[in-house]
Amino acid sequence: MTYDIAIIGGGMAGASLALALKDLPLSIALVEAVPYDSAAQPAFDARAIALAAGSQRILHTMGVWDAMAARGVTAIEHIHVSERGGFGTTRLDAVEEQVSALGYVVEGRVIGAALTDALAQCSNIDLLCPAELTAVQMAGDAADIQLSHGGAARSLRARLLVAADGGRSTVRELIGANTWELDYGQTAVIATVATDRPHGNIAYERFTDTGPLALLPCDPPADGDTALQGCRWSLVWTARDAQTDELLALSDAEFLQRLQQRFGYRAGRFLRTSGRHAYPLVLRFVREAAAERIAFVGNAAHAIHPVAGQGFNLGLRDVAALAQVISCAVARGEDIGSLAVLRDYAVWRRPDYLRTAAFTDGLVRTYSNDLPPLKLVRNLGLLALDALPPLKHLLARQSMGLNGHLPRLACGLKLQVTSDK
Ligand SMILES: Cc1cc2nc3c(=O)[nH]c(=O)nc-3n(C[C@H](O)[C@H](O)[C@H](O)COP(=O)(O)OP(=O)(O)OC[C@H]3O[C@@H](n4cnc5c(N)ncnc54)[C@H](O)[C@@H]3O)c2cc1C
């Protein structure tokens, strides 16, 4: 079978890309290894994702936001940044930024349900699932792809192969893509917690000597436990690798007590916690986001620290940019898998990768050194940032994913089969 595009990986990035392309005159195969209704599905798990305002706009223009909102999303109206044991704080505010929300917190399973329901409506997208990529070979005008589909071997050809198969990308491995990687020696422990005080739509980022702690307001989905409405949070607790096993082994009461001690009482008293899940953290980039016949999106292209919740937001901007480059190539009658077309995508994405990595990695490094003079400078920095509106505005634009050369979808404009980029 021959397709215009084969997308390997139907997680948040791969499924979003297929949907972004749904109105173009293209045949698309979306290859996903794990069934969406399986408990082992790795892409739409217990994580809650902070979607930046720019990402919400992309999803809205693609036509999937309303379905997510109906299932349950929580607006972030304020962001509060502080350091444990420090005096400096910075606050970002939606009203000051003249937006209705700085972003939204959405549970992974809500994102998954909205994307997969929308996929089921698309006649030009073949969802091959459970199907796993086993081999790939570039053959001049197409990529030859081998799959194990429901246990049987199957071959596909595609003019363009998109790697959306996540951090442990098989595509990257099979084609020997040049990759740069740094292990943070840190693990993110996530849980859903409840407090005795309403969240007030505030997201907290608190830096501690062992790593950042994020507390995101996260109301239960429409089909969830409404008793927790208004005082439920998604916690991302970054700890050094050596401390992770201990954190995971604590009883719920001990965990809540430890959290209270590290976070303080700004969000109230921690009363309940869900089970905990751990994610080891690395910084990783493919050297080139595209080559002849192939493009990388999402975590297959990059993995960054979850501080400031930027990973999927960066991936969604990949999706919006690649979809636009493809739509322009279709309009001009060009080969969508050619290097000339895909180089535009790689060049476009590079500044955003560098800016976002510098932002997140810079935060992690700045706050992981506990020398007293540095701590003083950091706290003065937070105070200064709070007092300087232009600087704060720049930080807010970066957090909202509204800096740099934005794709049409992030500007609220639909893709067109047009040659304007
Ligand atoms: C603790 C934590 C908190 C985070 N919080 C945020 C946040 O608040 N905001 C934010 O923007 N980002 C956040 N992120 C980042 C975000 O979760 C990721 O960027 C995003 O999930 C990556 O999606 P993806 O589709 O690229 O990859 P994945 O989710 O890894 O999906 C890859 C898919 O490919 C499939 N697959 C793999 N190999 C094959 C194969 N050989 N054949 C076929 N299919 C295959 C897998 O089954 C999977 O479904 C967070 C990350 C962590 C760890």
Angle in degrees, CA 404, 405, 409, rounded to 5 = 120
Cβ count near 44 (within 10 Å): 22
Model confidence at 139, in pLDDT bands (50, 70, 90)? confident
**pLDDT top residue among 248 and 39:** 248
CA distances to 53, 185, 237, 238, 266 from 371, rounded to whole Å, are: 35, 20, 22, 20, 25
Q: Which domain holds residue 131?
A: 2-182+282-411
- Terminal CA-to-CA distance of the chain, rounded, Å? 31
Structure letter (DSSP) for residue 208: E
Model confidence at 418, in pLDDT bands (50, 70, 90)? low
Question: For 15-39, b where at least 16 C-beta lie within 10 A, e where not — what string?
Answer: bbbbbbbbbbebbbbbbbbbebeee
Range of lowest pLDDT (104-113, 334-343, 396-405): 396-405
**Number of separate domains in the chain:** 1
Place of tokens 């702690």: 213
| Ligand 1-lining residues (CB < 6 angstroms) | 8-14, 31-34, 42-43, 47, 49-50, 132-133, 164-167, 170, 188, 190, 236, 279, 298-299, 306, 309-313, 315
Q: Closest ligand 1 atom, CA of 32?
A: 44
Place of tokens 């009658």: 333
For residue 333, what pLDDT is reported? Answer: 96
- Spatial separation of the C-alpha atoms in residues 133 and 15, rounded to whole Å: 16
Range of lowest pLDDT (1-5, 92-96, 291-295): 92-96
Query: What mean pLDDT comes out for the span 113-130?
Result: 96
Q: Are 212 and 186 in contact (CB under 8 A)?
A: no
Tell whether the model's pLDDT for residue 351 goes beyond 70: yes
Cis preceding linkage at 130, omega within 30: yes
CA of 65 to the centre of ligand 1 (A): 19
Q: For 290-305, how does the pLDDT look when each residue is reduced to its tens digit (9 = 90+)?
A: 999 999 999 999 999 9
Q: Tell whether 75 is covered by a domain.
A: yes
Q: Tell whether 59 is covered by a domain.
A: yes
For residue 411, what pLDDT is reported? Answer: 94
CA of 226 to the centre of ligand 1 (A): 28
Q: Tell whether 232 is covered by a domain.
A: no
Model confidence at 8, in pLDDT bands (50, 70, 90)? very high
For residue 88, what pLDDT is reported? Answer: 75
- Spatial separation of the C-alpha atoms in residues 3 and 61, rounded to whole Å: 25
CA neighbours closer than 13 Å in the CB half-sphere of residue 171: 32
Question: How many helices and strands in the chain, by DSSP H and E?
Answer: 11, 20
Q: Tell whether 231 is covered by a domain.
A: no
Q: For 175-225, how does the pLDDT look when each residue is reduced to its tens digit (9 = 90+)?
A: 999 999 999 999 999 999 999 999 999 999 998 887 889 999 999 988 877
Tell whether the model's pLDDT for residue 120 goes beyond 90: yes
Q: For 45-71, how does the pLDDT look when each residue is reduced to its tens digit (9 = 90+)?
A: 889 999 999 999 999 999 999 999 999
Q: Closest ligand 1 atom, CA of 52?
A: 11
Query: What mean pLDDT comes out for the span 248-260?
Result: 97
Q: Are 3 and 25 in contact (CB under 8 A)?
A: no
Q: Tell whether 128 is covered by a domain.
A: yes
Range of lowest pLDDT (44-48, 98-102, 119-123, 235-239): 44-48
CA of 164 to the centre of ligand 1 (A): 9
CA of 250 to the centre of ligand 1 (A): 27
In the numeric block, which tokens belong to residue 25? 């005159």
CA of 40 to the centre of ligand 1 (A): 13
Q: Are 410 and 348 in contact (CB under 8 A)?
A: no
Q: For 360-411, how does the pLDDT look when each residue is reduced to its tens digit (9 = 90+)?
A: 888 887 777 666 766 777 777 777 667 777 888 888 888 888 888 999 999 9
6, with CB counted inside 10 A (0-12, 13-18, 19+), is: buried
Q: Tell whether 230 is covered by a domain.
A: no
Q: Tell whether 148 is covered by a domain.
A: yes
Angle in degrees, CA 109, 115, 120, rounded to 5 = 120
Q: Which CATH number do you get for residue 109?
A: 3.50.50.60
Q: Tell whether 123 is covered by a domain.
A: yes
Q: For 18-51, how does the pLDDT look when each residue is reduced to its tens digit (9 = 90+)?
A: 999 999 999 999 999 999 999 899 999 889 999 9
Model confidence at 348, in pLDDT bands (50, 70, 90)? very high
CA of 382 to the centre of ligand 1 (A): 31
Q: Closest ligand 1 atom, CA of 31?
A: 43
Tell whether the model's pLDDT for residue 419 goes beyond 70: no
β-strand pairing of 179-195 with 232-240: antiparallel
Q: Closest ligand 1 atom, CA of 34?
A: 47
> What is the average pLDDT value for the chain, to the nearest integer?
92
Place of tokens 């050194």: 369
Residue whose CA is closest, atom 35 of ligand 1? 9
- Spatial separation of the C-alpha atoms in residues 247 and 254, rounded to whole Å: 9
